[in-house]
Amino acid sequence: MLSDFLPIGILFLMAVAFAGIALAAPHLITRAHPTREKMLPYECGIDPVGDARGRFSVHYYVVAMMFIIFDVEVVFLYPWAVAFRQLRMVGLVEAAVFLAILLVGYVYLWRRGAFEWD
């Protein structure tokens, strides 16, 4: 069982090695010649005003929370889908109840305008 994952482990090592070499290669081949202008954050050729790391819109956090809620829902549905052939109608009813509860949250989010951006 675990040996199934061995090739993935090997691939992981190869991928990491590939990434490592790619990160290191330019340093071996070329040399950076930094100047003040080159090292400025790109802002269309104007010296940037202020720092980029301010507080940003709360809406992004809302999206993240919605994701957590609905992705957990999907995660619950995964084993259900695999076992569905054994569960049949019982499974269908159970899933319907589960989704109905989530639907309440979904409708709430919809009506609160969480999916809108203004």
Check binding of 97 to other proteins (CB under 8 A): no
Return the closest-CA partner of residue 98 out of 70, 61, 63: 70
CB contact set of 80 (below 8 Å; sequence gap of 6+):
87, 91, 94, 95
Strands (E), 6-118: none
Compute the least distance from the CB of residue 28 to other proteins, in Å.
9
Compute the least distance from the CB of residue 95 to other proteins, in Å.
7
Minimum CB distance to other proteins smaller for 32 or for 104: 32
Q: Which of 11, 97, 101, 105 binds other proteins (CB under 8 A)?
A: 11
Compute the least distance from the CB of residue 4 to other proteins, in Å.
5
Compute the least distance from the CB of residue 79 to other proteins, in Å.
9
Cα(63)–Cα(71) distance, integer angstroms: 12
The CA-to-CA distance between both ends of the chain, in Å, stands at 51
Site residues (CB under 8 A) for other proteins, limited to 23-62: 23, 25-27, 29-34, 38-46, 48-60
What are the start-end ranges of the H helices in 3-111? 6-29, 36-39, 59-82, 84-111
Minimum CB distance to other proteins smaller for 8 or for 104: 8
